[in-house]
Amino acid sequence: MASSPLSAPRAAVRVQAPGRLHLGFIDPSGSLGRRFGSIGLVIDGFETELELRHAGRDALQAETPEAQAELPRAAQHLAALRERSGRREPLALRLRRVLPAHAGFGSGTQLALALGRAFACVHGLDTPTATLAQWLGRGRRSGIGIAGFDAGGLLVDGGPGRDGQPAQLLSRIELPAAWRVIVVLDARMRGLCGEPERAAIAALPALPQADAADISHQVLMRMLPGAAGDDFGAFAAGLNRVQQRLGEHFAPAQAGSAWTSAAVGRLMRCWGGQGADAAALGQSSWGPTGFAIVPSETAAHALVAAARAAGVLDDALECRVVGARRGGARITQAGDER
């Protein structure tokens, strides 16, 4: 694969790839023949960050215990990138930090794409993100992580295409600047992934076409117009309905609950009692991470304070208030702190 003036090789690259919340599938059972279709939101405050540079010999290093645990997977990605591209120069990888694994942030996809983009940059390769995702086996159900790596925002995709083609992005909207997201983490638990995830999806009954139609209607006529027009009430009503439908559908794979973490579920039920459009609540993917999207920073801190006062904020939970991220991954020269 040849380089071009727009992709001159770099000696060293830093990539900071954002986390995302998976807000739900549109039609996981494919009632019209096309499965999945995803809704997602890229957020600030959570990143995978790595540096890749040319070196005299291969070297893989990690700066945190969590990053150390991801080095074997990073090594597999490097091997796949070399096989696909034919470029085998020795490289030094420093994995500085990673997204929480199996928690609903898309950690596997962001690690793969961050390394893939860094590999392309140091070799001067014009390789689209969707191609990198295919090389590394990502995007087989959802395209939100792939689109979010490039652009950020509130995203909707139409589900994977034929022959394993990544899902096409259908809509991208930037949330109003004042809106905030309370991200609720439960480090004691992990969501489903890999073969257990595939088995769980296969064992679920088909989502009725009427439910998929309702989800589609909520997305098209409430969530997207609400986000585009700064109508928080419409957005929250739509997303809450989507999460209700999907929580019921996926509950049999989560011990009969819409929530992987019982502590997160208690907190979300408390916040849900504040009013139908006070917050857009849900679980990201298989959890255990929960979220509450609210119209302002003030509203976010008020919800957290109310939960503490009511005694429903488990001491083991961590709440972070972040914004929606309007851009995708940041790619810079390693050592450039701008």
Q: Rounded CA gap, 238 and 156, in Å? A: 14
The CB-based long-range contact list for 157-164 (8 Å cut-off, 24+ gap) reads 157/37, 157/38, 158/34, 158/37, 159/26, 159/27, 159/30, 159/34, 159/35, 159/36, 159/37, 159/38, 160/35, 160/36, 164/134, 164/140
Gyration radius of the chain over CA positions: 20
Taken in order of first residue, the domains within the chain and their CATH numbers are 5-174+328-333 (3.30.230.10), 180-322 (3.30.70.890)
Question: Is 131 a residue whose pLDDT tops 50?
Answer: yes
Q: Rounded CA gap, 107 and 187, in Å? A: 15
Does residue 100 have a cis bond before it (omega within 30 degrees)? no
pTM above 0.85, yes or no: yes
Please state the rounded mean pLDDT for residues 38-63.
Answer: 97
Tokens 């609400």: give the residue. 226
What CA–CA distances, in Å, run from 207 to 136, 166, 194, 228?
A: 30, 22, 22, 28
Task: Please state which of the ranges 61-70, 89-98, 131-140, 244-253 shows the lowest mean pLDDT.
Answer: 131-140
Tokens 């997160």: give the residue. 264
Question: Is 6 a residue whose pLDDT tops 70?
Answer: no
Confidence of residue 277 (pLDDT cuts 50, 70, 90): confident
Q: Rounded CA gap, 295 and 234, in Å? A: 12
Residues recorded for the chain: 338
Percent pLDDT > 90 in the chain is 86
Question: Is 4 a residue whose pLDDT tops 60?
Answer: no
Q: Rounded CA gap, 287 and 85, in Å? A: 35
